[in-house]
């Protein structure tokens, strides 16, 4: 039974929102100078909106550019839900880390020491006084490459060129597939150093074994968040991405790579207070870094939060950057950072540093949008439209078949067979595109397919008329007329289909939305028409020309003497 249902689904194409029900929202960008937005900003906006919509667990949602607009299609979603998803700005927020653990609960091992790092990232005693083993191990399980290809931060720091605006910040950020995880605490990083001097940490009681909060300071945390933190699974497919977090409340969030979970304090700095972020290389060390600049208010807020948390024990000396409900980076703050500029360093590559810079720079949607159209279709209305479209297509096909039989008689049967083959071929093509290329059959597509029935039939008519002309004027036999007529008719067929395909192509690229769908259907059926005429209609006509029914000009063949405008004597002479 299950196999039968799966087979049925495999041969049923996926439907668009106007047939399956859902909401389509078209957003138009609004720029200050009234000029067209940059493609970079549009691409970034599409990425942010797509992450938000997909993060809610809605399947088959589509977010795409259409010229300078962004079209969001959310199947099954009502108008209010769709507007809530796309109208809320995806904003970056900087929050203090209150607790951190691995993505899922794991049996606790014997707690290890929290060593003091050596080198340029030297820790103060307060930085490790409360860094328990569960916290360290959860953030950075080991120094080897993870399955996801995340890398262990080197904990490199670089002083600001201007001593008055110190900008030292150490990050935990992914950098490649040749190191460990990107979500480490300072204690965990130091553990990877052979020269570290270990400092014992409190051992959790037996009843706390496996508790992600064992040994961590939970003071000041909302009790409801503690239970949520213990149960959340950050390895799940939708690990909170797309959540609309309240900046005035503490939250539980996952890292964007799904390796760690966090309890985060209220937002200290909003992403709108970032004036710019740029990836580059340190002129001294040559390492890739990210330079972040703040606006006036943001500079004050950033200085206050870094001054407050720099002397706190790990992980509360980390400042998480949360974008759309997930932690994209959580650097350790080693000293207060005034002056409105900060430098984030670590095991970056050019790609990862540029990605982080873009995320920080476009912490909010890079453009303002207005809703140019919102179209909601209920599932009932969608089914009615589907049935109406199928009935219209069937009626159009029947009318064309009747015409072919009345006018061409026997030849009409060949035309009908060709139409049936074209219909099956079109359906299979749509089904394959639907299941393998993300194509969704919509009402404009159905309209285009119905209109194209006449275009497909026109190719057969051109060929049949050319055969009849050859028989009338050249006194040829049917076999020779079929071949000569084909050489002359195929040129006309190709020219006509080429004109139709070019028109569909131009319409597809210049039009928006439904009109583009109509153009796609016309272009698809035009290509199918060429394939059917060349590989089915012509070979079939060559075969039936050998049949006595057609070659002798039977009255029902459509090639009889009366219909050809010849006398019986001429017909007999030709047959001889």
pLDDT at 28 over 50: yes
pLDDT at 141 over 80: no
- With cut-offs at 50, 70 and 90, classify the pLDDT of residue 83: low
Q: Reduced to 3 states, what is the DSSP secondary structure of residue 63?
A: strand
Look at 159-168, 239-248, 317-326, 511-520 and tell me which has the smallest mean pLDDT.
Answer: 159-168
Q: How many residues does the chain have?
A: 576
- Reported as a single tens digit per residue, the pLDDT across 401-411 is 998 899 888 88
Look at 237-241, 278-282, 355-359, 360-364 and tell me which has the smallest mean pLDDT.
Answer: 237-241
- With cut-offs at 50, 70 and 90, classify the pLDDT of residue 9: low
Range 108-126 average pLDDT: 38
Range 532-557 average pLDDT: 89
Q: Does domain 92-368 have CATH number 3.40.190.10?
A: no
pLDDT at 533 over 70: yes
Question: What is the reported pLDDT for 167?
Answer: 35
Say what percent of the chain tops pLDDT 90: 20
pLDDT at 474 over 50: yes
Q: How far apart are CA 174 and CA 243, in angstroms?
A: 22
pLDDT at 366 over 70: no
Question: What is the reported pLDDT for 76?
Answer: 67
pTM of the predicted protein model: 0.51
pLDDT at 308 over 70: yes
Side by side, which strands form the sheet with 288-294?
A: 274-281, 288-294, 341-348, 168-170, 332-333
Question: What is the reported pLDDT for 380?
Answer: 76
pLDDT at 454 over 60: yes
Pairwise pLDDT comparison (145 vs 308), residue with the higher score: 308
* Alpha-carbon torsion (561, 566, 572, 576), positive or negative: negative
What token pair was written down for 8?
Answer: 């049925």
Say what percent of the chain tops pLDDT 70: 69
pLDDT at 199 over 50: no
* E runs forming strands in 324-406: 326-329, 332-333, 341-348, 368-377
For the chain, give every domain's residue range: 92-368, 378-575
Question: What is the reported pLDDT for 449?
Answer: 86
Question: What is the reported pLDDT for 182?
Answer: 33
Look at 432-441, 472-481, 549-558 and tell me which has the smallest mean pLDDT.
Answer: 472-481
Question: What is the reported pLDDT for 512?
Answer: 65
* E runs forming strands in 248-381: 251-255, 260-270, 274-281, 288-294, 319-323, 326-329, 332-333, 341-348, 368-377
Question: What is the reported pLDDT for 502?
Answer: 95
How many CB atoms sit inside 10 A of residue 561's CB?
Answer: 17
What token pair was written down for 482?
Answer: 């079929």
Range 37-43 average pLDDT: 84
* E runs forming strands in 367-504: 368-377
Candidates 130, 29, 89; CA nearest to 363 is 89
Between the ranges 37-41, 162-166, 337-341, 528-532, where is the mean pLDDT highest?
528-532
| CATH class of the structural domain 378-575 | mainly alpha
Look at 173-177, 369-373, 478-482 and tell me which has the smallest mean pLDDT.
Answer: 173-177
Look at 56-60, 190-194, 241-245, 311-315 and tell me which has the smallest mean pLDDT.
Answer: 190-194
Question: What is the reported pLDDT for 22?
Answer: 78
Phi, psi of 147, rounded to the nearest 5 degrees: -55, -30
- With cut-offs at 50, 70 and 90, classify the pLDDT of residue 491: very high
Using CA atoms, how far residue 144 sits from 155, 345, 412, 443, 552, in Å, is 16, 20, 72, 53, 83
Q: How far apart are CA 95 and CA 318, in angstroms?
A: 9
Question: What is the reported pLDDT for 393?
Answer: 83
Range 88-93 average pLDDT: 67
Question: What is the reported pLDDT for 475?
Answer: 59
Phi, psi of 36, rounded to the nearest 5 degrees: -65, 140
pLDDT at 513 over 70: no
Tell me the Ramachandran region of residue 465: left when phi exceeds 0, alpha when psi lies from -120 to 50, beta otherwise.
alpha
Cα 255 to chain centroid distance, Å, stands at 20
Q: What is the mean pLDDT of the chain?
A: 73
Range 415-425 average pLDDT: 92
Range 10-29 average pLDDT: 79
- With cut-offs at 50, 70 and 90, classify the pLDDT of residue 79: low
- Reported as a single tens digit per residue, the pLDDT across 99-116 is 999 887 765 454 444 433
Q: How far apart are CA 397 and CA 500, in angstroms?
A: 20
Q: Reduced to 3 states, what is the DSSP secondary structure of residue 191?
A: helix
Q: Reduced to 3 states, what is the DSSP secondary structure of residue 268?
A: strand
- With cut-offs at 50, 70 and 90, classify the pLDDT of residue 364: low
pLDDT at 34 over 50: yes
Pairwise pLDDT comparison (146 vs 473), residue with the higher score: 473
Q: Can you state the percent helix, strand and coil of the chain, rounding each to 5?
A: 45, 15, 35
Q: How far apart are CA 219 and CA 51, in angstroms?
A: 33
């Amino acid at each position: 039974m299950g196999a039968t249902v799966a087979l049925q689904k495999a041969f049923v194409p996926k439907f668009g929102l106007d047939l399956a029900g859902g909401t389509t929202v078209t957003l138009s960008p609004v720029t200050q100078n009234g000029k067209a937005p940059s493609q970079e900003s549009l691409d970034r906006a599409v990425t942010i909106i797509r992450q938000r919509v997909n993060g809610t667990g809605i399947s088959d949602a589509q977010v795409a550019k259409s010229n300078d607009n962004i079209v969001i299609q959310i199947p099954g979603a009502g108008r209010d839900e769709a507007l809530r998803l796309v109208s809320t700005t995806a904003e970056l927020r900087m929050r203090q880390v209150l607790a951190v653990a691995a993505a899922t609960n794991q049996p606790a091992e014997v707690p290890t020491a929290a060593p003091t790092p050596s080198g340029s990232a030297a820790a103060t005693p307060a930085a490790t006084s409360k860094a328990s083993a569960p916290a360290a191990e959860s953030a950075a399980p080991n120094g080897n490459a993870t399955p996801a290809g995340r890398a262990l931060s080197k904990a490199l720091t670089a002083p600001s060129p201007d001593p008055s605006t110190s900008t030292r910040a150490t990050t935990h950020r992914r950098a490649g597939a040749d190191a460990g995880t990107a979500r480490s605490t300072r204690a965990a990083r130091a553990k990877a150093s052979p020269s570290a001097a270990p400092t014992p940490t409190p051992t959790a009681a037996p009843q706390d074994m496996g508790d992600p909060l064992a040994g961590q300071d939970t003071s000041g945390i909302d009790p409801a968040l503690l239970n949520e933190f213990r149960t959340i699974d950050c390895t799940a497919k939708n690990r909170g991405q797309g959540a609309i977090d309240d900046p005035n409340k503490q939250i539980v969030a996952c890292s964007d790579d799904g390796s760690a979970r966090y309890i985060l304090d209220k937002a200290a700095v909003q992403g709108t207070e970032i004036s710019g972020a740029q990836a580059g290389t340190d002129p001294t060390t040559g390492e890739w870094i990210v330079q972040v600049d703040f606006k006036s208010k943001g500079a004050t807020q950033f200085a206050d939060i870094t001054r407050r948390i720099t002397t706190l024990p790990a992980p509360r000396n980390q400042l998480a950057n949360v974008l759309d409900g997930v932690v994209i980076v959580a650097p350790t703050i080693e000293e207060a950072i005034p002056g409105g500029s900060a430098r984030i360093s670590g095991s970056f590559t050019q790609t990862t540093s540029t990605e982080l810079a873009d995320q920080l720079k476009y912490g909010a949607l890079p453009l303002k949008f207005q809703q140019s159209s919102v179209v909601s279709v209920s599932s009932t209305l969608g089914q009615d439209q589907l049935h109406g479209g199928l009935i219209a297509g069937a009626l159009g096909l029947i009318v064309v078949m009747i015409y072919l039989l009345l006018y061409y008689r026997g030849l009409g049967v060949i035309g009908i067979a060709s139409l049936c083959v074209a219909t099956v071929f079109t359906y299979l093509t749509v089904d394959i595109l639907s299941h393998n290329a993300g194509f969704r059959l919509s009402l404009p597509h159905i309209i285009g397919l119905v209109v194209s029935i006449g275009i497909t039939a026109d190719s057969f008519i051109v060929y049949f008329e050319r055969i009849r002309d050859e028989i009338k004027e050249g006194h040829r036999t049917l076999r020779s007329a079929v071949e000569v007529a084909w050489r002359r008719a195929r040129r006309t067929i190709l020219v006509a289909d080429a004109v139709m395909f070019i028109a569909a192509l131009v319409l597809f690229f210049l039009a928006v939305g439904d009109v583009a769908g109509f153009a796609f259907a016309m272009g698809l059926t035009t290509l199918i028409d060429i394939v059917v005429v060349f590989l089915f209609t012509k070979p079939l006509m060559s075969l039936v020309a050998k049949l006595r029914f057609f070659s002798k000009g039977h009255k029902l063949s459509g090639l009889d003497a009366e219909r050809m405008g010849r006398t019986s004597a001429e017909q007999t002479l030709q047959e001889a």
